[in-house]
Amino acid sequence: MNEFPRTSIKKVLIYGYGVMGEAVAKTFVKSGFEVNVFSSRANELADSEKDLIFHKTLPSEVPDLVIEFVPEDIVDKQRVYQQIESAYGGRPLIATGTSGLDLIVLAKVLEYPERFLGVHYFMPAESTAVVEVMAGPNCKPDDVDDVSNAMKCTGKETVVLYQPVVGFLINRLQHIILHECYYLIENGVAGPGDIDMSARMMLGPRMCINGLIKQKDISGLEIHAAAQRSIVPNLHSVDTPNPMIQKMVERGECGLGEGKGFYDWSNIDVNNIRSRAGSRLKKLTEFLNKEILEDSSNIEPRARSREELLEK
């Protein structure tokens, strides 16, 4: 791992071996880390992966980093952290794999909250390019950087956040867009197909080339500021979850796996849809890295700091 950033993290313990835990464990193994897995299914998993060591109780050797992947329940996650601290004290860094829970709330039961942070992988974790690494309350920037560097050693790009915010960065951006989408669908302004076509053919490609903020610089901020004054007051309120999608989930209309969501997925090969999505995303990422990002290395502008942007 000499060609990658330096990290003090060598031994990783994955707590929970569902779809996400399995994928993340494999990314670390492939990159030369020593990986142990805690799982209630340790006995049946024992011979499934030659480079992974499975445990039904926490291993005695102290890991450098523990990443938990248990269901999104605050109490269950907090029990896990207490169990880890009981076994290892404040020696390992503990990372939650949550995508949307508040790290400040999760850390309330910890004796060493300064050793707590969040890592947010996207599915499929083995092929998506980006991982978000976010500090928990009082987590040192050096520790956040250390975990970020470990992720980079597995081939990931990282979004690094030095203060906790609910939803990390990418999910916050996704949800503000989706909340408006749901409102437009609910009120008959636009359908799922038109919204998805617009995202694929216009929003997505522009973001691939120039990102979100840089595109506004290129288009011109005077026009953008005027559009903000006109459009923002008319956007849908974001203080409550959209009732339409909450009711869809209550009815069991949860998407591809259940055969119905915003689309009718009956008689569709679920595994084929998911595998194709993963492989296409990987190909697109490789293309972007080679054809766009590398070619723009000598013309990349400097992102101005928050202090510069707020100066009077």
Taking only the tens of pLDDT, the chain with its 312 residues reads 446 789 999 999 999 999 999 999 999 999 999 999 999 999 999 888 888 999 999 999 999 999 999 999 999 999 999 999 999 999 999 999 999 999 999 999 999 999 999 999 998 898 888 999 999 999 999 999 999 999 999 999 999 999 999 999 999 999 999 999 999 999 999 999 999 999 999 999 999 888 999 999 999 999 999 999 999 999 998 889 999 999 999 999 999 989 999 999 998 998 898 888 878 888 888 888 777 666 666 677 888 888 888 986
- Number of neighbours of residue 169 by Cβ within 10 angstroms: 15
Number of separate domains in the chain: 2
Are 66 and 186 in the same domain?
Answer: no
Q: Are 103 and 136 in contact (CB under 8 A)?
A: yes
Note whether 147 and 174 are same-domain residues: no
Q: Which of 128, 161, 194 is the last residue of a domain?
A: 161
Q: Is 301 helix (H, G, I), strand (E, B) or coil?
A: coil
Do 40 and 76 have their domain in common? yes
For helices 170-186 and 243-250, angle between their N-to-C axes, nearest 10 degrees: 90
| 186 and 52 together in one domain | no
Residue 17 lies in a domain: yes
In whole angstroms, what is the distance from residue 33 CA to residue 150 CA? 9
**Could you tell me where the DSSP H helices lie in the chain?**
19-30, 42-45, 74-88, 103-106, 141-153, 170-186, 192-198, 204-210, 213-219, 221-231, 243-250, 270-287, 306-310
Q: Are residues 96 and 181 both part of a single domain? A: no
115 with 155, same domain: the answer is yes
**What pLDDT score does 48 carry?**
84
If asked whether residues 16 and 156 sit together in one domain, one would say: yes
| Domain contains 290 | no
Residue 57 belongs to domain spanning: 11-161
